[in-house]
Structure 1
Amino acid sequence: MRVKGKRILVVDDEAPIQRILRRNLSVGGYEVFVADTGKQAVEMVQMHQPDLILLDLCLPGELDGVDVCVQVRQFTHTPIIVLSAVTEEKQKVKALDLGADDYLTKPFNNDELQARVRACLRRAGTKEVLNEREPEILNSEDQYLHMDVARRLVRAGANEVRLTPTEFELLRQLMLHAGKVLTHRSLLRAVWGPEYGEEADYLRVYVRQLRLKVEAEPSHPKYILTEPGIGYVFRSQGEF
């Protein structure tokens, strides 16, 4: 995809990380802005309307990364990639639940950064084309998995797959948000209802059953992947 003119806001208070991200993203063809604090980040999102936000969770001042995510989501759907340390696992899950689109765990390499950025921008572009309407047909990139939402029909390769209503909705949520990490809480609430959120073990049972029906090798899934301690993600072939 063309990146010329795409604006990225980097929110991080560590000068060395700012320099590395600015250099690597600029070389990739992006226009880069930098914010040091959460308050400054919210102001810059409003001012510059970036196409993507790279958001560190541990920020100085009144607003940390989670607070920024909450405030930004009140007025924009701009994709957010959370930058976090391994020790910030709970904050990372909370940020994803509040609307962040993906995450990178520090330290990360430039290839991984560039791939995640491209994927997020690609998904955001697709949403704009659809004018926020949910598609009636969902496919994996290699066309192996096919879902006709209106007809409630699912195919894996040449075979029609019979899914229970719950399995169907679980797969629909995953495919609809392909490439985006969905937390246990967000999936449970989307599929089972707002009163759910803590039943991660319950969700694992359904994911296991769903993999048995739609994955060619359920023990080595290609599409429905686990993000340990976080949730699940539907990865189309070549997503990253």
Structure 2
Amino acid sequence: MKQRILVVEDEVQIAKVLKIELEYEDYEVHIEHDGLSGLENALGENYNLILLDVMLPKLSGIEVLRRLRKAGSHTPVILLTARNTTLDKVMGLDLGANDYVTKPFEIEELLARVRSSIRYHSSIISWQADRNEQPKISIKDLSVNTETREVTRSGESISLTPKEYDLLVYLLHHKNKIVTREGILTNVWGYEFEGETNVIDVYIRHLRKKLEDDSSDPLIQTVRGVGYTMKEK
């Protein structure tokens, strides 16, 4: 069965090019040209991925994303943003976007990110099915429910962005082992990352702040020159 992608893009020519390129890669593609119809379609149909423009008529892409996540949708979303809209990128990631691509974009980069997002989302679902176990993973007093994406420590709920959550789950799946920076980039970001090289340090710092705060029992340990680890003891 073909993987299905929803493209919500008001620029007709861009939407047409995306449809041609994605269908050439053997995806099934549906197009919507405004935020309201895009939201309705996203909530009414099952998709493997949504390509969502930020600047849309009737309902902005950011608002579409907010309502999708509020409705409980975990479908991967890649935002299509203008080059200088840093605030939109940050807000989008905080609201639950899985990735973003700036316009004008190289189609090969976009396709790589599409493959990455779909692959990672599928791997999480497959991992749960293959292990045939309770959807909870934990270490010490930290617990993650991979079905509801709820993260708690000592019973207190912790709010994470999608990428912070993905990073935490990857670390937990490899607890008591050392994971390299290269392994994190490949498996969490899922493509040949070409952004700032300190992106992992930034996300680790955010995770530590949210998970550990003033705790005297740190969960994430740095292995200098190699990577990171989470140990039971």
Q: Give TM class, smaller chain.
A: 0.5 to 0.7
Instruction: Work out whether residues 5 and 51 of structure 2, in 8 Å CA contact, stay in contact via their aligned partners in 1.
Output: yes
Return closer, same or farther for 1:92/1:27 CA change in 2, 3 Å cut-off. Answer: same
Return closer, same or farther for 1:176/1:99 CA change in 2, 3 Å cut-off. Answer: farther
Please list the CA deviations of residues 29-55 of structure 1 after superposition, one character each: whole Å capped at 9, or x if unmatched: 011111111111110012222110001
Q: Name the structure 1 match of 2:73.
A: 76
1:66-215 aligned within 5 A: 66-74=62-70, 75-131=72-128, 133=135, 149=172, 152-155=175-178, 178-179=188-189, 190-193=207-210, 210=222, 212-214=224-226
Equivalent residue letter for 2:27: Y
Please list the CA deviations of residues 197-240 of structure 1 after superposition, one character each: whole Å capped at 9, or x if unmatched: xxxxxxxxxxxx9484316xxxxxxx9xxxxxxxxxxxxxxxxx
SS at match of 1:128: helix
- Looking at structure 1, the residues matched to 89 and 61 of structure 2 have their Cα atoms a distance apart, in angstroms, of 9
Q: How many residues align?
A: 176
Structure 1 unaligned residues grouped into runs of 5+: 137-146, 158-170, 197-208, 216-222, 224-240
TM norm structure 2:
0.63
Instruction: Work out whether residues 97 and 186 of structure 1, in 8 Å CA contact, stay in contact via their aligned partners in 2.
Output: no
Q: Name the structure 1 match of 2:164.
A: none
SS at match of 2:79: strand
Please list the CA deviations of residues 100-121 of structure 1 after superposition, one character each: whole Å capped at 9, or x if unmatched: 1011111112211211111111
TM norm structure 1:
0.61
Q: Name the structure 2 match of 1:55.
A: 52
SS at match of 1:121: helix
Equivalent residue letter for 1:41: G
Instruction: Work out whether residues 13 and 59 of structure 1, in 8 Å CA contact, stay in contact via their aligned partners in 2.
Output: yes
- Looking at structure 1, the residues matched to 188 and 174 of structure 2 have their Cα atoms a distance apart, in angstroms, of 20
SS at match of 2:177: strand
Q: Name the structure 2 match of 1:24.
A: 21
Return closer, same or farther for 1:149/1:156 CA change in 2, 3 Å cut-off. Answer: closer
Return closer, same or farther for 1:176/1:77 CA change in 2, 3 Å cut-off. Answer: farther
1:5 aligns with 2:2: yes
- Looking at structure 2, the residues matched to 69 and 46 of structure 1 have their Cα atoms a distance apart, in angstroms, of 11
SS at match of 1:153: coil
Instruction: Let me know the Cα RMSD of the aligned residues.
Output: 3.7
Structure 2 unaligned residues grouped into runs of 5+: 130-134, 139-169, 194-198, 214-220, 229-233
- Looking at structure 1, the residues matched to 212 and 178 of structure 2 have their Cα atoms a distance apart, in angstroms, of 31
Equivalent residue letter for 2:44: M
- Looking at structure 2, the residues matched to 150 and 186 of structure 1 have their Cα atoms a distance apart, in angstroms, of 17
Instruction: Work out whether residues 25 and 32 of structure 1, in 8 Å CA contact, stay in contact via their aligned partners in 2.
Output: yes
